[in-house]
Structure 1
Amino acid sequence: MSESCEYPTEYRIPGQGAICLNVRAGERIQVTSEDGSQGCELLPFAIEDQGWMLTEPVDKGLAAGTLSLIKEGGIAAKKLQTDLQRWQVDEAMLANAYVFAADRLPDFQARQDLSMVLVAAGDKMAVDEHRPASELKVVHFAKQPVDLPEPLAVPVKEIRIPHSSARTYEVKAGQWIQIIDVQGKQSSDFIAFDKAALEQGREMTIDGTATRTVMGMSLPQPGLFSKFLDQEQQTMLEVVQDTVGRHDSFMFACSPKYYEDQGYFGHISCTENFNNALKSYGIQPRFGWPAINFFFNTYAEPCGTIGFAEPWSRPGDYVLLRANRDLLCASSACPDDIDPANGWQPTDIHVRIYSEQEEFPRSIAYRTVPEELSRMTKLTGFHSRTSKLTKHFAEYRGYWVATEYEGWGANSEYLACREKVAMIDLTPLRKFEVVGTDAEVFMQYAVTRNVRRMSVGEIVYSAICNETGGMIDDGTLFKMSDQTFRWICGDPYTGKWLRELAEKTGHNVKVMESSDQIHNLAVQGPRSRELLAEIIWTSEQQTSVQDLAWFHFTVGRIGNAKGFPVMVSRTGYTGELGFEVWCHPDNAEDLWDLIWETGQKYGIAPMGFDALDKLRIEAGLIFAEHEFCPLTNPFEAGIGFTTPLKTNDEDFVGRKAIERQAPESQHKLMGLVTETNEPIHHGDNIYHGRFPVGVVTSATFSPLLKKQIALCRLAPDFAAIDTEIEIGQLDGQQKRIPAKVVSLPFYDPERTRVRS
């Protein structure tokens, strides 16, 4: 095996997905499984002489996994089939595949130039199965760095902007502009003019004040606005995709004055480059051009001071814009080499223009761990239905979720859940299958709950802590069988943490993510049982929806024994009687339609995350990065019941650290009520006299109590019920809102409704 080449490039193959690679002679390909369970099928384009050197013999023959997936049909199968057709994969390639098991994935060096398709094959997983297709990581050790990522579609035009220069280009209304950071850590200033206005002698450009005002921001912030407007407050451009997330929306492009003030006289600047590039259009030069500073890493202090640091962008990162009218655009590759703005080394920028006939989904990037490739926002299986009812979406944990629905609104959705029934898409919850002979003993150590007390079909709510006792996550644990558990949580990182823990402890378990195979709706409210009992069929061996106990689950089918399979759990996040219904994304639209149509006679409403926030705060339910974080233990987060130190004598991660803490010194999660209508917010400090004694973690106006309420973390000396405190706003001294400490939950303190 030769040594690694100089330029490794990473790729990700999602479960049931594929990529196409071109490899040169002497280059190496290495494939690894994220969870150690996913195999790989390699489809070579050269049948007679594949031209690579394998580390050991491997099965060769039919690409059975790929063919099985295509035969099953469904969303993943259609996408895979489309990709294979685009790459011109034929039957001969599918019949002469190399099939790699998970424990001996490809790791080879090419003897000649070759092309191949790599598939992370796997069948659809039913809700009561536990072998999901999962992602593969591919590293291509190339002889030369990859200059650009694959185009998003066929480009209409490509413009290369050499470092320390600027270029102009024209786009038509509806066309797409992809601005790519070729080598990473390179800022690119961007300006645009209304082309029709220019022809009339008017310079109508993107306007920072208009954009910030309409978007509701008083100052520039790291990141991008979703829209950029002109001086007449009309949209010029929309941001559709962003793989970085860290930019500056409006400051000057670098100008001669900046370099002169630093002592670098005569240094070229983006402003001068723009002036030269725009001269042929009759545009007057400026001393400084207001610009969108793509990939420029700014930060804003609370006092408003702006600073900057090395860019976050990596090779191939990009921003995708859509023009709302005909535009003249100018982009620069910033020449700044006197500070970290371009990582001290200016490099090229590349621009691709795509036809107005193309369609690209809205998405932004996130990373589960810092060193991995960015992941883009996904659509849930229910998005085709929710998007017909609202345009109000927000990104949450890598998915687009509805915040509220047009024609309802947060209060109406809240009332439907409290009085009738409501349904909400909770697909962003991450699902992990924990399978193996040591599954029970492993989960006993991984979570704070006493897992050994669970029966098959039962669910417990638990925390997961790190070694210091701080909460990594909370979630629900389903005991699917004696050696199989399903952990459902909020943070996608939890799966990686569980896998690392299993490797560290040596337990015989596999931790596999099944989030892409299981999407879910919560059906909540006093009439939720009636509604679901009408449409869910269960066999004699399974508990019916009508008889399902709190924190238990059952497996059934929709309509009758021939319907598609679902899992139903009596769980929720509202404090009401409620259920969650889990299905494969291929069945998501049908599930939504049936619940929605059946629910009409029960007064059903769709519910967004704004209403859910009201409901969970009233119910005293906690939320990540509000009531808990890795510096907060379960007792301080208000869920000490998940950590039974007295009745559970077995060890779990973080136990020793929690036991070292004196209970009397722990801050406590309590409720607050105010007698005014002044809004209070997450992060407001709580005062008793001059000094802070706690912090507001979540707040809302309660339609039930008809007053402002909040969850808060208080020093133990001020956590007694009926203690009078003040919520500080502005600087904490300029404005105080009187409040009183109360017990939790605000709503249904005996949990009689959720247990009913």
Structure 2
Amino acid sequence: MTAGTQATTPATAGATEKRTALYGRHEALGASFTDFGGWQMPLKYGSELAEHRAVREAAGLFDLSHMGEVWATGPAAGAFLDYALVGKLSAIAVGKAKYSLICAEDGGIIDDLIVYRVAPEQYLVVPNAGNADTVAAELEARREAFGSDGGGVSLRDASAETSLIAVQGPNAQEIVLSLVAADQADAVTGLKYYASLGLELELRDGGVPVLLARTGYTGEDGFELFVANEHAAGLWDAIRAAGEGRDLIPCGLAARDSLRLEAGMPLYGNELSRDVTPFEAGLGGVVALKSKDGDFVGRAALQAKKDDGAGTTGGRRLVGLRGLGRRAARSHYTVLKDGRQVGEVTSGQPSPTLGYPVALAYVDVELAEPGTQLEVDLRGKAEPFEVVALPFYKRER
């Protein structure tokens, strides 16, 4: 199969291995692939350090088509999402987006996700790749429990037909503007963080409808573009062409992981899981216990957790750790205090931007204050680390 046909047709290479509509483009660029959530995704194209630095200094291009897309539509769509998720999604203004969580009845996190309100009665829910099917099924079950005939809300899982491309970095806006008609330029430059707009881009195959969102997972300014699979390859090629002379390079999941870690952003399966509540993960502010009326799935358990001081007294809390030496902590390494185990690292590596090791870890709450001196067992040797406020890296606005 040629790169062109491969790039426009999602395919499966085996019973559990899925490929995005851009797989052929990655293959032609010599990408190293890795399994992520059942998808064959580019890990890197060359140097992951160069890809990381490109995003911090110029621009990086990512294929995120393994993410899920579920549309909720109807007069009660906002009220339904208020019931299904922990946030008050009905309060989102049209054209805006909100970070939220879907939790189980016991308060455990099923997934973290972003919700876009694209019209008064239409929302787009974007779950993580490995949880996309679970979230879609859970939303459908909650729709059925929401009211007779689902309360008039319809759900459509568009994950299999939708591609998602991200342009991240200081040059991202300039690159995107070069693809936009002159009469839409002001709308793009005026687009705020966690906002979106629908527009049409003129590509080689004609006008292509795109949902453009100023969101990302790197700590940099940037955009995410939702597009139908059949137009994904054309959009990818157009962005790469627009990036010539602007130092844009394709980037894989390795750079995406180091970028999000520097930005202090949690990753499901590392920092977030069914065994963790929002309060322990430092995401208590996402839970709308006061700001929305009525019940929502997990409310009783989350209220009880909050009343018991979850995340503030007893138990553990997610923190940032800065290495005081040169060696980096890694996932599942033990955190120590005076030789006593007090926590576990969830993510860690050397920071390419900052020049020292950084890590996220769950530690005993009484040790979660910034400035606390801890150690991490690095294969039998205790190395010094210090609790620091998140994020590790914050771009200049």
Same topology, TM > 0.5: yes
Counterpart pick for 1:686 among 310, 325, 335: 335
Matches within 5 A, 1:123-138: none
Distance 2:50 2:120 in 1: 43
Larger radius of gyration: 1
Distance 1:627 1:585 in 2: 31
Identity across the alignment (%): 30
Give the equivalent residue in structure 1 for 2:35.
Answer: 395
2:213 to 547, 555, 569: 569
Say whether the 8 Å CA contact 2:51–2:249 is kept in structure 1: yes
Matched, 1:667 2:313: no
> Which residue of 1 is the match for residue 192 of structure 2?
549
- Matched AA of 1:445: Y
Distance 1:646 1:667, change over 3 A: farther
- 1:631 counterpart = 2:269: no
TM-score (norm 2): 0.90
Is the 8 Å Cα contact of residues 699 and 711 (structure 1) preserved in structure 2?
Answer: yes
Amino acid at match of 2:33: F
Structure 1 match to 2:224: 580
CA-atom RMSD in angstroms: 2.3
Counterpart pick for 1:498 among 136, 139, 160: 139
2: CA distance, partners of 1:479 / 1:384: 32
Residue from 52, 57, 67 that aligns with 1:429: 67
Aligned to 2:356: 707
Secondary structure of 2:330 counterpart: coil
The correspondence for 2:44, drawn from 400, 404, 417, is 404
Residue 654 of structure 1: how far off its partner (Å):
1.2
Give the whole-Å Cα distance in 2 for the aligned partners of 1:75 and 1:513.
Answer: 24
Q: Which residue of the partner structure matches residue 533 of structure 1? A: 177
Q: Which residue of 2 aligns with 1:251?
A: none
Aligned letter for 2:243?
A: G
- Decide whether the 8 Å contact of 2:96 with 2:194 is kept in 1: yes
1:649, 1:665 → 2: CA distance?
Answer: 29
Q: Is 1:740 paired with 2:386?
A: yes
What displacement does 1:713 show?
A: 1.1
Is the CA contact 1:538–1:557 (under 8 Å) kept in the aligned structure 2? no
Q: Alpha-carbon deviations, 1:436-468, whole Å to 9, x = none? A: 232111101111111122111111011111101
One-letter amino acid of the structure 2 residue matched with residue 468 of structure 1? D
Structure 1 residues 390 and 75: alpha-carbon distance in aligned structure 2, compared to 1, 3 A threshold:
closer
Matches within 5 A, 1:253-268: none
The residue identity in structure 1 corresponding to 2:377 is: G
Do the aligned partners of residues 379 and 685 (structure 1) sit closer, same or farther apart at CA in structure 2, a change above 3 Å counting?
A: same
> Deviation of residue 720 (structure 1)?
1.1
Give the C-alpha shift of residue 557 in structure 1.
Answer: 1.5
Taking the aligned partners of 2:72 and 2:237, their CA distance within structure 1 comes to: 32
Aligned partner of 2:41: which letter?
V
* RCO comparison, higher one (Cα < 8 Å, 6+): 2
3-state SS, counterpart of residue 165 of structure 2: strand
The aligned counterpart of 1:41 is: none
Superposed CA deviations along residues 351-397 of structure 1, whole A, max 9, x for unmatched, are xxxxxxxxxx87354xxxxxxxxxx3222121221111124101212
Counterparts in 2 of 1:556 and 1:677: CA distance versus 1, 3 Å: same
Residues 537, 544 of structure 1: 8 Å contact kept: no
SS of aligned partner of 1:563: strand
Letter of the aligned partner of 2:388 in structure 1? Answer: V
Amino acid paired to 1:678: R
Query: What is residue 110 of structure 1 aligned with on the other side?
Result: none
C-alpha separation between the residues in 1 aligned to 2:304 and 2:145?
24
Tell me how far apart the structure 2 counterparts of residues 502 and 564 of structure 1 sit (CA, whole Å).
32
2:30 aligned counterpart, secondary structure: coil
Offset from partner CA, 1:514-557 (integer Å, 9 cap, x none): 012210111000110011011023867x9721111111111111
Select between 714-723 and 383-392 the one with higher mean Cα deviation: 383-392
Query: Which residue type is aligned with residue 355 of structure 2?
Result: K
Cα separation, partners in 2 of 1:647 and 1:538, compared to 1, 3 Å: farther
The structure richer in helix per residue is 2
Which secondary structure does the structure 2 equivalent of 1:448 belong to? coil
Q: How many equivalent residue pairs?
A: 380
Aligned to 2:123: 485
Q: Shift of the alpha carbon at 1:682?
A: 0.6
Cα distance change on mapping 1:519 and 1:543 into 2, 3 Å: farther
CA distance in 1, matches of 2:183, 2:72: 26
Q: CA deviation at 1:716?
A: 0.8
Deviations 1:258-302 (A, max 9, x none): xxxxxxxxxxxxxxxxxxxxxxxxxxxxxxxxxxxxxxxxxxxxx
Note the C-alpha offset of 1:642: 1.2
Query: What is the TM-score when the length of structure 1 is the normalising length?
Result: 0.48
Structure 2 distance, partners of 1:651, 1:539, is: 44
Task: After superposition, give the CA deviation of every residue in 1:124-182 in whole Å (9 maximum; x if it has no partner).
Answer: xxxxxxxxxxxxxxxxxxxxxxxxxxxxxxxxxxxxxxxxxxxxxxxxxxxxxxxxxxx
* CA drift at 1:615: 0.4
Q: Is residue 2:159 matched to residue 1:522?
A: no
Listed one character per residue, the Cα deviations across residues 393-425 of structure 1 (whole Å, up to 9, x for unaligned) are: 01212321100113xx11100110001011110
Distance in 2, matches of 1:533 and 1:635, equals 39
What corresponds to 2:261 in structure 1?
617
Query: Are 2:166 and 2:223, in contact at CA under 8 Å, matched by a contact in 1?
Result: yes
Distance 1:585 1:538, change over 3 A: farther
Q: In the alignment, what sits opposite 1:718?
A: 367
CA distance in 1, matches of 2:71, 2:12: 30
Task: In structure 2, give the amino acid aligned to 1:465.
Answer: C
Closer, same or farther: CA 447–617 of 1 in aligned 2, 3 Å: same
Corresponding position of 1:363: 13
Q: Does structure 2 retain, via aligned residues, the 8 Å contact 1:465–1:471?
A: yes
* CA deviations over 1:173-201 (Å, ceiling 9, x no partner): xxxxxxxxxxxxxxxxxxxxxxxxxxxxx
Q: Deviations over 1:668-706 (max 9, x none)?
A: 211101122223211111111243111101111101221
Q: What is the CA–CA distance in structure 2 between the aligned matches of 1:584 and 1:450, rounded to whole Å?
A: 29
Alpha-carbon spacing, 1:364–1:726, altered in 2? closer, same or farther (3 Å): farther
Measured after TM superposition, the shift of residue 649 of structure 1 is: 4.1
Q: How does 1:300-311 map to 2 (within 5 A)?
A: none
Q: 1:449 aligns with which of 79, 87, 93?
A: 87
Aligned equivalents of 2:19 and 2:339: distance in 1? Answer: 48
Q: Report the secondary structure of 1:495's partner residue.
A: helix
5 Å matches for 1:149-188?
Answer: none
| 2:302 is aligned with 1:651 | no
8 Å Cα contact 1:538/1:555 also seen in 2: no
Question: Residues 219-256 of structure 1, C-alpha deviation per residue, up to 9 Å, x if partnerless?
Answer: xxxxxxxxxxxxxxxxxxxxxxxxxxxxxxxxxxxxxx
What's the secondary structure of 2:231's corresponding residue? helix
Q: Which amino acid aligns with 1:550?
A: Y
Could you say what secondary structure the match of 2:65 adopts? Answer: coil
